[in-house]
Structure 1
Amino acid sequence: MQSNQNGLFSIQQVADMTGLSKQVIRKWEERYGIIQPKRLDNGYRVYSHEDVKTLLKVKLLSEQGHSLKQAALLVKEVEEEPKMPLFKDEQKSPNYEQWNEYVLRLLEKGNHCDEIELNFILNQAYHHLGIDHFLTDIAIPFLKEVGRKWENHEWSEYQESVSSLVVRDFLVQIRRNYQYRDSAPFVLGACLPYEHHEVPLHLVLMKFMMKGWKTQLVGASPAPGSIESLVCKLKPSVVLLSATTTIPFETDPTLLQRLDEFAQKQENIAFYLGGQGTIHYHFDYKPRAIRITNSVEDILKP
Structure 2
Amino acid sequence: MHKEVTYTIQQVAQKTGLSKQVIRKWETRYNVIQPARLANGYRTYTEAELTILQRTQQFVKDGYTIAEAAERAKQTMLSASQPFSTLTAHDFLQALESVGARADEQQLMQLLHKAHHTLGLLTMIDTVIVPFLLRVGQLWCDRTWTEYQEAISSQTIRDFLANARRQIFVAEDAPLIIGSCLPEERHEIPMQLLLLRCALTGYKTLMLGPAPAPRAIEQAVQQKLPIAILLSVSTPTSEAILAPLERFARTTDVPFFLGGHGTDHLPISLTHIHVNNHLHSILSKIATVS
Q: Normalising to structure 1: TM-score of the pair?
A: 0.67
**Residue 262 of structure 1 pairs with residue 248 of structure 2:** yes
SS at the partner of 2:152?
helix
User: Which ranges of structure 2 fall in alignment gaps of 5 or more residues?
Assistant: 8-19, 44-87
SS at the partner of 1:181?
coil
SS at the partner of 1:216?
strand
Partner of 1:171: 161
Following superposition, the deviation at residue 236 of structure 1 comes to: 0.6
What is the alpha-carbon distance in structure 2 between the residues aligned to residue 225 and residue 245 of structure 1? 20
What is the alpha-carbon distance in structure 2 between the residues aligned to residue 76 and residue 217 of structure 1? 41
**Residue 274 of structure 1 pairs with residue 264 of structure 2:** no
**Which of 2, 21, 24 in structure 2 is aligned with 1:35?**
24
> Following superposition of structure 1 onto structure 2, how do residues 1-302 of structure 1 map, counting pairs within 5 Å?
35=24, 47-50=32-35, 53=36, 78-79=41-42, 100-246=90-236, 248-249=237-238, 253-267=239-253, 269-279=254-264, 281-283=265-267, 285-301=268-284, 302=287
Mapped contact 1:271–1:289 kept (Cα < 8 A): yes
Q: CA distance change for structure 1 residues 47 and 286 in 2, over 3 Å: closer, same or farther?
A: closer
Read off the aligned partner of 1:178 and give its amino acid letter: I
What is the alpha-carbon distance in structure 2 between the residues aligned to residue 148 and residue 243 of structure 1? 20
Mapped contact 2:33–2:94 kept (Cα < 8 A): no
SS at the partner of 1:197?
coil
Read off the aligned partner of 1:263 and give its amino acid letter: A
- CA offset digits 1:72-122 (Å, max 9, x no partner): xxx995339xxxxxxxxxxxxxxxxx9511111000000000111101100
SS at the partner of 1:78?
coil
SS at the partner of 1:273?
strand
User: Which ranges of structure 1 fall in alignment gaps of 5 or more residues?
Assistant: 1-5, 9-28, 39-44, 55-74, 81-97
Mapped contact 1:185–1:213 kept (Cα < 8 A): yes
Could you list the runs of 4 or more consecutive aligned residues of structure 1 that deviate by over 2 angstroms after TM superposition? 45-49, 75-80
Read off the aligned partner of 2:275 and give its amino acid letter: I
Following superposition, the deviation at residue 127 of structure 1 comes to: 1.1
Aligned length: 223
What is the alpha-carbon distance in structure 1 between the residues aligned to residue 244 and residue 108 of structure 2? 41
